[in-house]
Amino acid sequence: MRTNSRNKLDRLVEFMFEVGTLRKTLRSHRQTLLTDDLSDNIASHSYRTIIIGYLLAKREKVDAAKVVLMCLVHDLPESRTGDQNWVHKKYVKVYETEAIRDQLSGLTEDNELYDLALEYSKRNTKESKIAKDADLLDQVLLLKEYANNGNKEAKSWLEGREQEKRMYSKTAKELAVRIRNNKIHCWWDNLWTSDSRK
């Protein structure tokens, strides 16, 4: 009994170390966007995707906790498969379902993360579609940030609206338009003041 319990804890430790590797897993669009942004990795992408997913879920009135968890696990398999861009996907077969099974099944008693990762990959539920919208919106934000810094490839992708064409929810599509039409510093525009705090 004690050994079994220790094995389960060891399994959790192994998983925690594996999740940490996502900070070192660079996103593959660096190749096609011709950028060396080392801050853009699977972990940083997932973080903003989680926040976006929560906000979208609230707007679309779906289960926000479920969407957040789907966003949390949506790119976990990439610690084993790597991140494949659209050029790669034309030539490489990725066994994502196997990676999800090996990585997440049995991790918890209820297999919640495993089940949610499978549900996300099938896109049959409102929550899985909202989680995908969050994933795509993070990409639109990143393209806007890169375009702002003079990246012509990012500007071209942004203007092509490829991400928006693949979005499911009305809210996500509207946000994509607003992202394109706003400045990246809009969040602090009205915070500036010449007065010092006393």
DSSP string spanning 33-83? HT---TT-BHHHHHHHHHHHHHHHHHHHTS-HHHHHHHHHHTTTTHHHH--
For residue 173, how many other CB atoms are within 10 A of its CB?
A: 17
| DSSP state letters, 75-138 | TTTHHHH----HHHHHH----HHHHHHHHHTTSSTT-HHHHHHHHHHHT-SHHHHHHHHHHHHH
pLDDT in single tens digits along all 198 residues of the chain: 444 555 888 999 999 999 999 999 888 888 888 888 888 889 999 999 999 999 999 999 999 999 999 999 999 999 999 888 888 889 999 999 999 999 998 898 999 999 999 999 999 999 999 999 999 999 999 999 999 999 999 999 899 888 888 999 999 999 999 999 999 998 988 887 777 666
Domain assignment present for residue 135? The answer is: yes
Distance between CA atoms of 80 and 77, rounded to whole angstroms?
6
Count of domains observed in the chain:
1
Residue 189, domain member (yes or no): no
How far is residue 149's CA from residue 154's CA, in Å, rounded to a whole number? 10
| Distance separating alpha carbons of residues 67 and 116, to the nearest angstrom | 9
Measure Cα distances from 193 to 33, 184, 197 in Å. Answer: 36, 19, 10
Q: Is there a domain that residue 8 lies in?
A: yes
Asked if 51 contacts 68 with a C-beta cutoff of 8 angstroms, the reply is no
At residue 33, φ and ψ (nearest 5 deg) are: -90, -5
Looking at residue 26, its pLDDT comes to 84
Q: Are 113 and 102 in contact (CB under 8 A)?
A: no
| Predicted pLDDT at 139 | 95
**SS3 of 114, please?**
helix
The answer as to whether 169 is a domain residue is: yes
Residue 156: which domain range? Answer: 2-181
Q: Is residue 194 part of a domain?
A: no
Amino acid at site 43 = A
Would you say residue 34 lies in a domain? yes
* Integer Cα distance of 71 and 46 in angstroms: 7
Domain assignment present for residue 192? The answer is: no
Please give the pLDDT value at position 197.
66
Reduced to 3 states (helix: H, G, I; strand: E, B; else coil), residue 100 is helix
HSE of 169 in the Cβ direction (CA atoms, 13 Å)?
28
CATH number of the domain residue 8 falls in: 1.10.3210.10
Q: Does residue 132 lie within any of the structural domains?
A: yes
Query: How remote is the C-alpha of 14 from its chain's centroid?
Result: 22
Q: What is the pTM of this model?
A: 0.90
